[in-house]
Amino acid sequence: MAEERRPKQCTVVLPTESMKAMAESIGVGQLQEESCAALSEEVSYRIKEIAQDALKFMHHGKRRKLTTSDIDHALKLKNVEPLYGFQSQEFIPFRFASGGGRELHFYEEKEVDLSDIINTPLPRVPLDVSLKAHWLSIEGVQPAIPENPPPAPKEQQKAESTEPLKVVKPGQEEEGSIQKGQGAISAEAKGKKEGLMRMKPRSTHELSVEQQLYYKEITEACVGSCEAKRAEALQSIATDPGLYQMLPRFSTFISEGVRVNVVQNNLALLIYLMRMVKALMDNPTLYLEKYLHELIPAVVTCIVSKQLCLRPDVDNHWALRDFAARLMAQSCKTFSTTTNNIQSRITKTFTKSWLDEKTQWTTRYGCIAGLSELGPDVIKTLILPRLTVEGARIKAVSEGPVVSNIDKIGADHVQSLLLPRPTLTVSQSGIGGSGGSRSPSIIKVPSSLTLMSTRPGTPTQPSPPATKYIVMATSAGASSTQQVLDGSLVITLSSSSGSSVTSTVASATSTLQPLVKLESRAASGLGGSRPLQKYIVVSLPTSASSSLESKSGMLPPSSSSTSPISLEAGMKMDHTGCVPNGTLLPI
């Protein structure tokens, strides 16, 4: 019935101290405690009464916000002089002061210099009230014009995708059309044939010319070379309300793009596409569930694919894997239900390929990264028991006969991912206050960092040019507040330097040291959420890789172990494992 609401209404009374303060302000000195109590009850009652009357004026004024004029009118009803001229720029104009054990709120009245007022130019005259007519509906269908709100709110998209049967079944046509709201109604009467028409997803919907232009611009900007444009485009994807009609196109764009670029080992483009996924997921008005069957395979591909770049030994594809793993975890969190079981299916996929003896180190890394993002439970049940086995495997690679450079790097990364390090506890304590749910990333971040600084015995590798990684300190700071930015790609410093496995330990530590401090500060300010796990280092496509991009079909000289065919096979396995709705398109 009514138990859940209604807090203790009758007990809310102004504190007696306020009465005292008010009495003092009008020159009444020592007020008895009893009179204060009596006064405060009386005053509270009157204030409530006035507020209730003021509410009437708000309702009749057709507003949702109570204004000071409502209070004035309510006072007038009670034959009380209204508080003329009470207005304030701020929501609560009171200032707080305390001293001598007393607290006081007062109304700040600044001294005003008249000459200032006289000399300031007059403010612009506010625009006059005007009338504007538009079509809210034309014969039952709401036209998509700027005057009308975006056509389908998220709940409706959700209703459509989660209860598609309602729309489809002819017997339930009427109810379905109500779910759909406008648009379908006029069609409803035209019989079951129309009902079948409606079964078709909205992808058959024609886009207006403007939408087509928008789509073209956005996709071009997203994969183009201008970083500023890309940021703008991603921002647009993440915030614009009216994109749902283009959603099928975007999702196809992404999945096709991943398919092509994985084959071509075009790391940069894969990164861009993942950023698009991230932006789509960030858009509060979009309901992605319908398109997960395209997006999830693409994302998983970017996590576990054997090869993502032309030069696996140099390029930082690890960061892409990490990023995609985080995306995967996010979508698991958002969309996993008992019916589609995304999380468990994804987990199974990762586990399966991880357990496979023949799995490449890159895929291995992706699987572990993906699993570790899925939460402490997964880590506990799936990763920890495997640690010893994995450790032996790593040992075999690092200490055994030199098989291949790439294997070694891969093993290193897996190790760095898995190794809990003494410094872990230190940095964890710094962050630990902000929330306990971060374990996977916590394990990862500091361990990889310490890995760098404490592992002098790593084999020396040709260090990549220092200019390749641009550490954006500002973005790291900002990322604590802006999820989008931290999502904007790329490469965690830890893994980047890990991939390069620096030859000179001293230099690595020196560049890393200041960043450690930065992180702990930013992370503690974060308050429990997980966005900031790593330093954001934006990697610009290196001249080398960009030149390779242009010669896209070429096989990388250094990638010895992977061939396109095996890659393809690996991907297939990924996809079959992770399809949410069982309607996966074969890649």
Partner 1 sequence: MAAVQDGQLNLEVEKDIKTEITNDGSGNINANSSSPGSTSSGGKSKSPAGSGEDQQTLLAVLQFLKRNKLTESVDILRREAGLSADADDSPVSESAGAGSGGVPSVGADGGDANSLLSRVSIATPVAPPATAPPKVVAASGGEDQPDVNVVLSAYSQQGDPVLYPLYYNGLKKFIESVLDCHRAELSQVFYPLFVHMYLELVYNNHENEAKQFFEKFSGDQECYYEEDLRILSSMSKKEHMKGNETMLDFRTSKFVLRISRDSYQVSCLGKPEMSRSLWQLTITYRMLSYQLLKRHLQERQNNQIWNIIQEHLYIDIFDGMPRSKSQIDAMSGSLAGEGKRDANKAKVFYGLLKEPEIEVPLDDEDEEAENEEGKPKKKKPKKDSMGSKSKKQDPNAPQQTRIPLPELKDSDKLDKIMNMKEATKKIRLGPDNLPSICFYSFLNAYQGLTAVDFTDDSSLIAGGFADSTVRVWSVTPKKLRRVKSAADLSNIDKESDDVLERIMDEKTASESKILYGHSGPVYGISFSPDRNYLLSSSEDGTVRLWSLQTFTCLVGYKGHNYPVWDTQFSPYGYYFISGGHDRVARLWATDHYQPLRMFAGHLADITCTLFHPNSNYVATGSADRTIRLWDVLTGNCVRILTGHKGPIHSLAFSPNGKFMASGATDGRVLLWDVGHGLMVGELKGHTDTIYALKFSRDGEILASGSMDNTVKLWDTLKAFDDVELDDFTAATGHIHLPENSQELLLGTYMTKSTPVIHLHFTRRNLLLAAGAYNP
Chain residues binding partner 1 by CB under 8 A are 1-3, 5-6, 8-11, 41-42, 44-45, 48-49, 52, 56-57, 59-65, 67, 69, 73, 77, 126-140, 142, 147-149, 153, 174-175, 178, 181-182, 185-186, 188-190
Shortest distance (Å) from residue 9 CB to partner 1: 4
CB closer to partner 1 out of 63 and 517: 63
CA–CA separation, 191 and 168 (whole Å) = 13
Closer CB to partner 1, 128 or 399, in the complex: 128
Coil, strand or helix: which one is 105? strand
Name the residue nearer to partner 1 (CB basis): 50 or 518.
50
CB of 300 to partner 1, least distance (A): 37
What whole-number distance in Å separates Cα of residue 216 and Cα of residue 184? 28
Q: Which is nearer to partner 1, 108 or 175 (CB)?
A: 175
Rounded to whole angstroms, what are the CA distances from 84 to 76, 81, 90? Answer: 11, 8, 17
How far apart are the C-alpha atoms of 171 and 174, rounded to whole Å?
Answer: 8
Ordered alpha helix ranges (H), 373-463: 376-378, 387-399, 405-418, 422-432, 439-454
Beta partners for residue 491, in sequence order:
537
Q: How far is the CB of 239 from partner 1 (least distance, A)?
A: 17
Beta-carbon contacts of residue 490 (< 8 Å; ≥ 6 apart): 271, 316, 319, 320, 323, 536, 537, 538, 539
In sequence order, the β-bridge partners of residue 470 are 538
106 in helix, strand or coil?
Answer: strand
Shortest distance in whole angstroms from residue 452 CB to partner 1: 52
If the CB atoms of residues 110 and 134 are measured against partner 1, the closer one turns out to be: 134
Nearer to partner 1, 37 or 555 (CB): 37
Cα 494 to Cα 502: distance, rounded to the nearest angstrom: 11
Pick the closer one to partner 1 by CB: 137 or 460: 137
Q: Which helix (H) or strand (E) holds 121?
A: none
In the complex with partner 1, the residue whose CB is nearer, 73 or 275, is 73
Longest CA–CA separation in the chain, Å: 96
* Tokens at 180, concatenated: 């759909």
How many whole angstroms separate alpha carbon 37 and alpha carbon 191? 71
Contact by Cβ (8 Å): 95, 105: yes
User: How many angstroms separate the CA atoms of 477 and 489, rounded?
Assistant: 15
Smallest gap from Cβ 15 to partner 1, in A, equals: 16
Least separation in angstroms between residue 191's CB and partner 1 is 10
* C-beta of 48 vs 521, nearer to partner 1: 48
Task: Choose between 113 and 210: whose C-beta lies nearer to partner 1.
Answer: 210
Q: How far is the CB of 133 from partner 1 (least distance, A)?
A: 5
CB distance 430 to 532 below 8 Å: no
Smallest separation, CB 280 to partner 1 (Å): 23
Do the beta carbons of residue 379 and residue 317 sit within 8 Å? no
Question: CB-wise, 66 or 231, nearer to partner 1?
Answer: 66
Q: What is the DSSP string of 460-507?
A: P-PPPPGGGEEE-HHHHHHTTT-HHHHHS--EEHHHHHHHHT-S-HHH
Residue 265: CB partners within 8 Å, gap ≥ 6?
307, 308, 309, 310, 556, 559
- Minimum gap (Å) between residue 218 Cβ and partner 1: 23
Can you read off the two tokens belonging to residue 507? 């230099």
| Minimum distance, C-beta of residue 78 to partner 1, in the bound complex (Å) | 9
